[in-house]
Structure 1
Amino acid sequence: MIDKAKLSALAHAVIDTEIEAVKALHERINDDFMQACEFMLHCQGRVVVIGMGKSGHIGSKLAATLASTGTPAFFVHPGEASHGDLGMITDKDVVLALSNSGETSEILTILPLIKRLGIPFIAMTGRPESTLATCATAHIDVSVANEACPLGLAPTSSTTAALVMGDALAVALLETRGFTVEDFARSHPGGLLGRRLLLRVSDIMHTGDAIPTIDEEALISQALIEMSNKGLGMTAVVDDQYHILGVFTDGDLRRVLSQEINIHTEKLSAFMTRECKTGRADMLAAEALELMQRYKINALLIENEHQQLCGAINMHDLLRAGVV
């Protein structure tokens, strides 16, 4: 029989223990922390993060966070480093080593070689008196009073403290570098934010013969054929210089049919929408989406600097591009 009350108490105890571990980090934002930031800010190469076991998992995440927030970084497994991967570290880099004990043998093995490069060596450990801490150019103390594990064995509070301190480093560097939302988007082109901040209308719009166009003297039936052939749910109405005179949409066609008008004899000019919204090729796709949503339209004509038609998009294009 599961004792739900006991399970709940244990879970709360873990959370409380880890909260206390994180709170204790406030007093560790000291000169060593500042020096570590300075080393990474002035690094001409990459921040090379190393760590074994659970510290390695935290280090891998920290390297990814640094790299995506403006500080070039990558993770090197210290066990592999002593078998050739040490060549990935250059004399322009900064090394950040994570080890709760500060005595991780795989890191100690390669420490003399790192020192020989003459580069900053930052250690993040739970023991300020450890070998790695005392050999470090800058030591960041992430010691915890207790692990959340009741056996005091499984890394829990210690890994949380290292993770939070790593985030503190990354965000401090981000702010100091003046890293922007646009910078973040450039390193996340596959994500929603990246698509919203990088993708432009010119990247997804239909051009050339794929744009539905017709002149205003055409019959409604001819406009319907053009709309069907191009599949955008509308057709642009243009003059012989491709200046936009208006648009004829599915909505306009429904209004025509509701009046029982003969589409084979009536001209388009009497039924098209003359005051239509247009966009620019260089505008963000997200801006085009906002414009279409604001005016409740499903397609948008794109014009160039001479007010000539140069493209067209509809809501399906934005959906396919992942902007919606």
Structure 2
Amino acid sequence: MAANAALAADAASAANAASAANSIVPTASPRYVLPMRRSTANLMLLACAAIWGTAFVAQSVAMKTLDPFWFSGLRFLIAAVALAPFAAAERRRAPQPFPRRHVGTVVAICLVMFAASALQQVAMVSATATNAGFLTSLYVLFTPIVGWLLYRDRPRPIVWVGAAIGLSGTWLLGGGLSGFTRGDGMIVLTAVGWAALIVLIGRVVQAAGRPVGLAFVQSLFTGLACVAIAIPTAPIALDAVRDAVWPLLYGGLLSGGLAYTLQALAQRHTRASDAAIVFAAEAPFAAIGGALLLGERLTAAGAIGCILIFGAILLVQLWPDRRGSVIET
């Protein structure tokens, strides 16, 4: 991915980074970004997967009392409020204004985020937490394809092997096509959106920085857009909000605020295709959360699927990378 030198005074450092173009991925200004190992970045992404996987339980519980658009709108507005002071502090510390040439990509991120989040929440009315986690993991396959289509980014060969293993695991975890519902089909469509989001976020934060600001903007836009749809279409009662307060807080503060910030931070230091493999861990976390908290059954085949998914993650993470394991700064 293309590097972006933030200041003229950093020209020498930028030249050194360009000469090391076969290290992982270039980042923004050397003065603003601390080096991070790919393994550390991927551990942060694994934490995101754990939060998002268990968030399927919160989303499923909330659908008993709240309209999908109200839940999505409120959770993302909570996330935006929580992120606002950190985004403001990040802006004050930034060495330069946000590059205008990336504004269009940020707009695309906001639109994709809104569409995928809203569609996923509507799907959770009928899809189980386990199946939602399994089907969402299809972005393991979609992400390298989207990256290649949009930017001609060529993933490492081992990523395709990991994707095949991960998809095999998600197939076992979801029980094949048996019991496939309309909600399941909608979740598959959201997987394409999440794949595009992974690619677009990686492109912006590696070139322009501002990961917290990006998480704030996409959360604010998604929250406002969902509420704008919910107000005229779905009356809301305070009792319904009160009954869903814990799912809202989990979805807003952890799944929205914390996890999306960790994603933006970590994706400055790893490839989008590698990130998609790590995010596949959402499926087993969703299955475990569904089994423990909702009584959804995890079969023997599902357990094998969990093992395969984690195996795929370890394969991509530990496979020797000839292009280096630390961002050059």
Per the normalisation by structure 2, the TM-score is 0.25
- Higher RCO, 1 or 2 (CA under 8 Å, sep at least 6)? 2
Q: Which is richer in strand?
A: 1
Bigger Rg over Cα: 1
Q: Which is richer in helix?
A: 2
Per the normalisation by structure 1, the TM-score is 0.26
